[in-house]
A and B are shown apart, each in its own frame.
Chain A
Amino acid sequence: MTKVKTQSLHKRESTLAQSKRQLEILSNGIFQNGELPTFAKKIGETNQFPLKAKKLEILQINVGYMCNQVCEHCHVDAGPDRKEIMTKETMQQCLEVIKNTGAHTLDLTGGAPEMNPNFRWFVEEASKAGIIDFIVRSNLTIIRANKKYYDLPEFFKKHNVHVVSSMPHWTRGKTDKQRGEGVFDMSIKALQELNAVGYGMPDSGLRLDLVYNPSGAFLPGDQMAMEKDFKKALMEDFGIQFHNLFAITNLPISRFLDYLIASENYEDYMYQLVEAYNPAAVANVMCTNTISVSWDGFLYDCDFNQMLELPVNSKVKHISEYNEELLEGRNIVISQHCYGCTAGAGSSCQGSVA
């Protein structure tokens, strides 16, 4: 069994910490020798190349790569040793954009976004902008990690934040294998505390959704069926309720790519992704309605491209020069990792898309 690493790839100075090396792997071998078609070629078969950005709907902001966990498959390579944190100055630039955006969803992510020292100030300010759906991606354990975070459920409630949290499985063993020893018990406690203030209850406006991503080199099952199983098990075992489950495919980058290579699953996994390719999912991939902002204010088509350091193909590169009209219609930057979002029912930060 693979043990959860305690340091990020960056800290371990792994060659896979470099996005250039990851992109080389994704372009060489089975994609270079023609055994599998490149993503560009595949979407070209159905005249979907190049992918074009549509009207912006989701503004996703990554406020830093620091995290209290070191999950085995983290695409951010996040962890306690990551020091990339969004400054208040960049947050202020983001707020200007948030006030004027046409996007209906604001999505804060990390790392553990709550670890950014200006997180609460940022949430308070951003919540005044009147965005319809204000998401914070919380890893749950942060709520129990330190006394200073214990009131997070109340804080989220006060600002009507939509909480989206990772939960790889309803059993302790599978959850702890992927996310670290003790994560399951802490996550359960955090979910119970969120329920206690009204999050996730059937008729509650306080939305609590869970994110499921597979614990190994396989694709997620049917989102609806998984949701049913999660709801039954979490209710029976712990009395926990939540609204929806988002099934997300692991993309072959960063620590998941490292895992795939180390476990000799890389080629099989890429085959799985390509064989499960669904042209209907391409029409709804999140990069066409999302902008991802990095901790230092640069713009990307999605969080995965951010980690691969593939900036938007536009004159506008930074939040300080943000212009929604100029960004619309840009060509989306793609590589073979994009197969992760088009496999089966498709995958996005909001779960299945097809």
Chain B
Amino acid sequence: MQKTYYDPADLRKFGKITEWSEELGNKFFEYYGKVFEEGALTAREKSLIALAVAHTEQCPYCIDAYTKDGLQRGVTKEEMMEAIHVGAAIKSGATLVHGVQMMNKVNKLDG
């Protein structure tokens, strides 16, 4: 029996999700492919955004996929780490900005 929830080899099977819902699966992959095409943003910029989001979402498959994707595009490790810090800053900022709500509540109840 599989003892862990995540298996790196499962990433290769991602395309198989269409087998149990062909239309929705195909629509998703078509959309996904289109999103990452060169547009107003370069494919390289999109790859770095994806890497940052992969970390904030804490998706191990996405982290593997977009680390490799970045390497393929010549992205340096310094650029990758900076992108992750952007994600981390937003995550921590999103936590801390709720501190204002806490302060508002304290002021109302006990001010």
Contact = CB atoms under 8 A, between A and B. Distances in A.
Interface stretch (A11-19, A63-71, A76-84, A212-220): A212-220
A221 interface: yes
Interface residues of B, number: 10
Interface in A219-238: 219-222, 225-226, 229-230
A174 interface: yes
Chain B interface main SS type: helix
Contacts of A214: 71-72
B44 to A, nearest CB: 7
Contact of A225 (B12, B73, B76): B73
B74 interface: yes
Which residue, A218, A221, A275, has most C-beta atoms of chain B within 10 A?
A: A221
A214 B71 CA distance: 8
Contact of A226 (B12, B68, B74, B76): B74
B63 interface: no
B43 interface: yes
Interface residues of A, number: 19
Interface of A: 169-171, 173-174, 214-216, 218-222, 225-226, 229-230, 271, 275
Interface in B46-81: 68, 71-74, 76
Contacts of A226: 73-74
Interface of B: 12, 42-44, 68, 71-74, 76
B72 A220 contact: yes
Contacts, number: 30
B12 to A, nearest CB: 6
A174 B72 CA distance: 13
Contact of B72 (A171, A218, A230, A271): A218
A204 B49 CA distance: 39
A225 B72 contact: no
Contacts of A221: 72-74
A218 B44 contact: no
A39 B44 CA distance: 31
21 contacts: A170-B74, A173-B76, A174-B76, A214-B71, A216-B71, A218-B68, A218-B71, A218-B72, A221-B72, A221-B73, A221-B74, A222-B43, A222-B73, A225-B42, A225-B43, A225-B44, A225-B73, A226-B74, A229-B44, A229-B74, A275-B12
A19 to B, nearest CB: 29
A171 B76 CA distance: 8
A226 B13 CA distance: 29
B17 to A, nearest CB: 16
B74 A169 contact: yes
Contacts of B73: 221-222, 225-226
Contacts of B43: 222, 225
Contacts of B68: 218
Nearest to B44: A225
Contacts of A271: 12
Nearest to B77: A173
